[in-house]
Structure 1
């Protein structure tokens, strides 16, 4: 996950920015760079690889100046080269950017027609050249920045400096974190409070759709229309060695809000937006010849695998077996040589999953691991690693890592279907387009926070909760039930909605809320019938649906959360976000330790 650090002051900017980048190394990166103003000119130094390479370059070619921005880049769109490294810029402007610009192709065509010349493979450069174009039209930096921001679509945080404007920096964010630090006659900008911790304890956290104009004397906050907004300066007690919450109540809340960015950054690693095709790393086997797939994982990662099974079987027509990793090797199932083993883990160190990997390896199974830590033990022992670009996940209860895993599995299913001749070019483009639309739709989920909190008021009083879903919504229901158990300590169980009549229906009364995931897909009518049966027995229905299903659901639900309508293929990813949010809000109401629930650890490294 990329990192941003910027400073406007009277001291040399480069050492300050460089130290901020050091503190952002935990995010993972493969290139870095810094830009400053030198006698009014924009000067840049960029290097591929680790920060030591940038340090060597700066020693050879020093970079003076008191206004500067820096960036650590995790390559997603474009190779990890010095050319693709940030800052991007022209003689008039330099920018650094975290996130994705979803409409960069349209903007790039417009800018090329207007005579702008691109030098990199990144979507980020589009921001710099659009900004430069507005500056060429005679606009002042603030107005040029606002006009640029109003054209951008996606999740992003950006910092900008301008030639001949010493002591000026502009920042903006949408569905990506950015914090402003207040010093004595100097100001700072960072991706999170970790980068700013050694510099100041006075921090204002920007909100989605904020723009900030920074000078040595202070910061002016506004929305993208240029209308003033107020942001509170907080006295942070963040220790210099810790990772901040960026103004959120808990790490889990912060990580929930990172869903749109994480989905988008993971897609940028796996999808060519120009061709609308999934791009996998080189595989040491032929996907077209794989006879079966075997999926194994633990906890939430197992539920992600269950959804992956639906996709692989339905789209790629590939037979799939799935087991929780803690049971798989003891069950000793018969396996077909040459099958692919798909193992899923956030840390890459999960003991049961690692043991299952080694068991599969002994049986001549190709190993593909979906991991968030790509230098882990599982990564070293896999044939192929499909990385989830989720960044560090501090909260014990997994949130953003789960949707990143689903995003990877969706892409893998598409690539497998294409290799097996089950998906033509147009069909692939259709599914990929649905995936590329997800970050924006995911950001819209947070508009329903009040409705989710109202739903939580019902759940918080319960001792038992039933979760229901059909098809790929069944694992989503299981994820929702697990999250509620993990952090609120309320007993919850998930069932395939059609199974309710085969036992669980006996539990239903007014004291047992029923949480259902019911988007308007092919199984919508069946799910509604099951919910009608529950209501007839006094069940209190709490339903997650979409804009197309809302009218039907409203007739029977006590409470309802209405989500954007998306393609059936990606609905499980979107539906996951609000069920996780519900668990979080219930835990907050109960006053439990949300980030470190009792008896749980982030990475289970013992069997």
Structure 2
């Protein structure tokens, strides 16, 4: 599932909902739909981009209340029948939903065996269930409540009764949802970015809560029906932050923003006296721990691997990296005093949250490092550190990855200094991050060279390999992920020494193999591995630091501190993925089958 928007109390509800849906396009989706309460109770749905939905709109589709949705298929194919909003069998109720209802089949067999369904989604079963209880004599709100008590799984629901154009019923469990407060109107959204042009005042909803939303009120109730009074928070983002400006794609803009992000992290985490601004309680808790467990998915997991060496070097604390989707159901034997760090750009990653819920139950301290203040992982962890990277809109993460590594470095430096670790005291992190920012600018200015090399090596290939050792291997994993997720080239990142233990069998004539060399201790070994694949027909490309470069190396990186090379080495690989995608004619920002914020397990 993907994006939800809604508004009540505005004459231009259709325009507001459509604009909100467009602002959520970055999350990835395969269909979209809108319902506006008016004379005709207008409900429209379409597959493909939102412009297809927009083309169906007419001036007659107008009203003061409505809901909209962008869908990423989980149950049923991406068809118009499966797109949201869904209606009850007689059409009296309309529902949009993010999340996954785990017991949908049981509910259908128990309560809805005589109903006719038009699609294959769990959401359609949910709205039929609410209507079932309404037909038994309950008011819409009470029918909704009864259904919520039976539904198992994750959900963010927005429900309207077609006979009432003044109210939207909202409920949340495990899937993000916000209420936005306006002057004489109110909105709802799964991401504040969708409604920043309407309000900057948002109220967070907690799991198990339900809201009765009208133009003048947002009445929050817990599962027991008790009224909850909660203050709003002011969104720190500006609507202009999400605009591409002169850039053709958000991804290119976000790659170019990385030097600014490095400098902003320095600014946000440096006190006037030059010391590091980190919560002393967080440092004390970490100091009292015996092992750090970094839990993350995808790109964030790769950032964890990139941070492992410098974190251990500067703090003398052992670090383990775990995939959230595996850790939650296959928890390893833990140390006596573990500390958990959750890395997530959105702070809403469902796989990570289900681990956090379990570690909270066990009473273990935790830290979320995220780009989104007030996100679920931020609220539910013991501590939070923000990336200060600004909105990341492209599905393929770039600046959030480097920001995660940089903030982890800030934390490691602060803890190492507190523990009087020699390596930390000798390490001027803020100076080094400044050098990194300048070096990033140097690489970003090499776009013409990188575009040419990409055309030479990757335009006509079906697969490719990135290889390296140590941190260069971890960057290789991230580089391969970037390439495969947007250009659809089958790319893999390998530890260079492992090629000869089986994977070298895949090398054919002109197979692209890109080697990353930033470590003096392993650089010659990686070059040996490159020679092995070259002798078997591979087309090799080398990314190396200037101090380790050979005359034939194609991409040279400015020399930076050896503990922080991951921050720089990844930049040319991001641009390579970008150009490979352009050259193949694909949409850089919105790759197929992917969503920006993965809110289902």
Deviation at 1:588, TM superposition (A): 0.5
Q: CA deviation at 1:546?
A: 2.0
Contact 1:468 1:514 in 2 (8 A): yes
Partner of 1:439: 437
Deviation at 1:411, TM superposition (A): 1.3
**1:597 matched to 2:596:** no
Name the CA distance, whole Å, in 2 between partners of 1:425 and 1:586: 39
Q: CA shift at 1:389, angstroms? A: 0.8
CA RMSD for the aligned pairs? 2.4
**With CA pairs under 8 Å and 6+ residues apart, which has the higher RCO, 1 or 2?**
2
* 8 Å contact from structure 2 (residues 276, 410) kept in 1: yes
Superposition TM-score, scaled by structure 2 size: 0.58
Q: Which stretch of structure 1 is more off in the superposition, 436-445 or 348-357?
A: 436-445
Q: Structure 2: any 5+ residue segments left out of the alignment?
A: 1-19, 24-193, 199-238
Residues 516-560 of structure 1 show CA distances to partners (whole Å, capped at 9, x for unaligned) of: 21125332222222222222222211111122222x2x34x5xx1
- The equivalent of 1:577 in structure 2 is 571
Aligned position for 1:282: 280
1:348–1:379: 8 Å Cα contact kept in structure 2?
Answer: yes
Query: Aligned to 2:587, what secondary structure does the other structure show?
Result: coil
2:546 maps to which residue? Answer: 547
Q: CA deviation at 1:336?
A: 2.6
- C-alpha contact 1:296 1:324 (8 A) present in aligned 2: yes
1:302/1:344 contact within 8 Å kept: yes
Q: Distance between the aligned counterparts of 1:604 and 1:537, measured in 2?
A: 40
Shift of 1:242: 10
1:435, distance to aligned residue in structure 2 (A): 1.9
Alignment map for 1:230-309 (pairs within 5 Å): 243-272=242-271, 274-275=273-274, 277-284=275-282, 285-309=284-308
- Show the counterpart of 1:406: 405
Instruction: Report the TM-score when normalising by structure 1.
Output: 0.57
Superposition map of 1:69-468 within 5 A: 243-272=242-271, 274-275=273-274, 277-284=275-282, 285-423=284-422, 426-429=425-428, 431-457=429-455, 458-468=457-467
Q: 2: distance between equivalents of 1:606 and 1:526?
A: 41
- Give aligned pairs, total: 366
> For residue 513 of structure 1, what is the aligned residue in structure 2?
512
1:497-525 CA-to-partner distances (Å, cap 9, x unmatched) read: 11111111111222310012112533222
Contact 2:515 2:543 survives alignment (8 Å): yes
Which secondary structure does the structure 2 equivalent of 1:330 belong to? coil
Secondary structure of the residue aligned to 1:585 is helix
The residue number in structure 1 matching 2:228 is none
- Separation in 1 of the partners of 2:253 and 2:302? 22
| 1:185 match | none
Report deviation, 1:419: 3.0
Change (3 A) 1:410 1:424: closer
Question: How far does residue 370 in structure 1 lie from its aligned partner after superposition?
Answer: 0.5
Q: SS in structure 1 opposite 2:547?
A: coil
Distance 1:355 1:438 in 2: 35
Deviations 1:427-474 (A, max 9, x none): 132x44212321111111122112211221111211110110111111
2:444–2:571 Cα contact (<8 Å) kept:
no
1:214-250 Cα shifts (integer Å, max 9, x gaps) = xxxxxxxxxxxxxxxxxxxxxxxxxx99942111111
Q: Are the structure 2 counterparts of residues 575 and 242 from structure 1 closer, same or farther at C-alpha, using a change threshold of 3 Å?
A: closer
Query: Deviation at 1:358?
Result: 1.2
d(CA) in 2 for partners of 1:472, 1:416: 21
Q: Secondary structure at the match of 1:441?
A: helix
